[in-house]
Structure 1
């Protein structure tokens, strides 16, 4: 059977799904191909924090658009979005300075944020250690989601809106013709489309192995943990801490950032493994803790291995205990996620014969930036900016 569409999206993670969403809202006939029974990659292996506050100016615009899209969908269909805000906690005067500078940048960008004193942070956040926190910067508009719940519910929502989703289908061949694209899958299906967008992380190597090997993509491996449910404890928002302040792109635009970074110990454990400490309470009362960053070129992905480095988990828990005296730090789950990102650009984009578009390597910006970026990209690919 020949399945014909205006657009076929390959990859059912957050980046591919939001490309399908925006094409669908523009009245296009769209199919989404997911190689597994349900998404298994980076989308379901992350914190689920939607935090435009951590992005540089360009991506903050996409992230803020994403917030609007998440909230719009949530008002129509429960995809687990909770608007509880995000807070960055400073542990010393350098980090306080960066928070104050970012607050000034936010004012000029008209992005709501609120500087909090040490006392206000301690009042709002139960069991926060007084000997850690010096100040905070709160972003009331930001949301969090349950990643595994969100993406599967989003698929159900889009099916109701007319999206055709084919799971367990690996794209094996994608051929550009004079007009449109022919696509063949592992399920012996034959598709035709006006355009194809490939958003399946590093796995576009199945279709274009030479392009994949020659790309500047690297793979990042992140370790995360989940505590047991916290008895009689509520963490009122997503929490990002001092090491996040020193890592996230938004702070690199602060006037004193470069000087402060230059004073850091380049041989520290957190530098070696890219550790910063995040807290997020899930719907079931557990706390998600993390995370770390270990990198390898796509040609050497096997170097990252399949094992968890317990010294990283132990370090994260030790540092987390310096920040919050949670009722329990007993861990019930540990896992790692892998995502692809570019070394030289902020996202990997490559067009083949005008109608096949590879869009991947969004890195750690996926959950926050995909919805807004995909809207822009669909409008660009289909020349809809002025429609």
Structure 2
């Protein structure tokens, strides 16, 4: 039976970065993925690495993640582009929050720049002038192409650090024994590991379903849109908007957030958890979104796998209030991720079987730094 120091179950961003850090530290690592390639939240997102929107330890993990992405990008092309993030405030309340967050980041040495309305329109001429009150810019933040990034990272950890990656491997059991943990696949193949880490995303029924059923995990369903390229259009970096300022955790910690009113024209958007973001892919297409609907993880089917035209129309109408270029939709999709009120779900089934899931929408921005900390903690145990 093949034996490893660490077996990671789930090859999304969270699982793969845990495998990367463990292998980099000299461990023999097996990485198992139930599908032929990752198809979950890791590839159904904007590909924005934006620690600025995170709070608490997740900001710290995000800040470290920027460094990790840069380190790997110097070795292999993960599609990482340090092209910055802008939050566009649309009214005085959002602008006040932008100023407060800027002040906080100035105190801790995280580079940000306040841009006037005129400066925003010079840097981002495709914005609707009537929308813009000002902007908060983070030059060090990044974007990636999600599907390309994870597949290139998987190739890199195999080639550089000899991670044994096995897609199409459905794990049905992990059982502790005197030698560590035995992992069994659906085809009855078995592997031995000193430690097993389960990064199962929003999948809560294959392994330790009783544990995950009691974890108070919630699945969020997101709708996103892909618009056709527009001739001559260049959108530098990640463009986040007033609704994002009203939603992201970093702004919620600002002094004036508690008294933030919701204008009547935003009430229906808020009901569906909509905040508008734009990111231009390397082929010129434009990702627009997103919305948020919620269900208990054990009742995720209730969300359905369809997309609602009504939600897409709400997003498009708000997007066209923000930008001047036309949005001709090529395709729409739904993404799913699990989250918990406790920031993330971490559970030790035994001393050497660990579940880590429910990172929510923070995985792309902070997963690399978080995984490094987790592997470091394991090393000291």
TM-score computed with the length of structure 1 as normaliser: 0.96
**How does 1:123-162 map onto structure 2 within 5 Å?**
123-161=122-160, 162=162
CA contact (8 A) 1:180 1:192 kept: yes
Q: What CA RMSD, in Å, does the superposition of the two structures yield over aligned residues?
A: 1.3
CA contact (8 A) 2:176 2:182 kept: yes
Could you tell me which runs of 5 or more consecutive residues in structure 2 were left unpaired when the two chains were aligned.
Answer: none
The answer to whether the aligner puts 1:280 opposite 2:258 as a matched pair is no
The answer to whether the aligner puts 1:353 opposite 2:350 as a matched pair is yes
Distance 1:56 1:240 in 2: 17
**How does 1:196-345 map onto structure 2 within 5 Å?**
196-261=196-261, 263=262, 268-326=267-325, 328-342=326-340, 344-345=341-342
Distance 1:205 1:319 in 2: 37
**How does 1:71-220 map onto structure 2 within 5 Å?**
71-161=70-160, 162-220=162-220
Compute the displacement of 1:267 (Å): 9.0
CA contact (8 A) 2:272 2:293 kept: yes
* Partner deviation per Cα, 1:99-126 (whole Å, 9 max, x = no partner): 0000001011210000000000000012
Distance 2:131 2:240 in 1: 13
CA contact (8 A) 1:205 1:211 kept: no
Match of 2:255, SS state, is coil
CA contact (8 A) 2:204 2:298 kept: no
With over 3 angstroms needed to count, the CA separation of the structure-2 counterparts of 1:266 and 1:125, relative to structure 1, is closer
Compute the displacement of 1:205 (Å): 2.1
Distance 2:271 2:151 in 1: 35
Instruction: State which drifts further: 219-228 or 123-132.
Output: 123-132
With over 3 angstroms needed to count, the CA separation of the structure-2 counterparts of 1:57 and 1:353, relative to structure 1, is closer
Compute the displacement of 1:265 (Å): 5.7
Distance 2:224 2:150 in 1: 19
Distance 2:264 2:327 in 1: 28
Match of 1:47, SS state, is coil
Per the alignment, residue 382 of structure 1 pairs with 379
Distance 1:324 1:259 in 2: 28
Distance 1:182 1:34 in 2: 16
Distance 2:378 2:273 in 1: 35
Match of 1:205, SS state, is coil
TM-score computed with the length of structure 2 as normaliser: 0.98
Distance 1:207 1:323 in 2: 44
Match of 2:140, SS state, is coil
Per the alignment, residue 20 of structure 1 pairs with 19
Per the alignment, residue 41 of structure 2 pairs with 42
Distance 1:218 1:137 in 2: 31
Distance 1:269 1:197 in 2: 40
CA contact (8 A) 1:126 1:235 kept: no
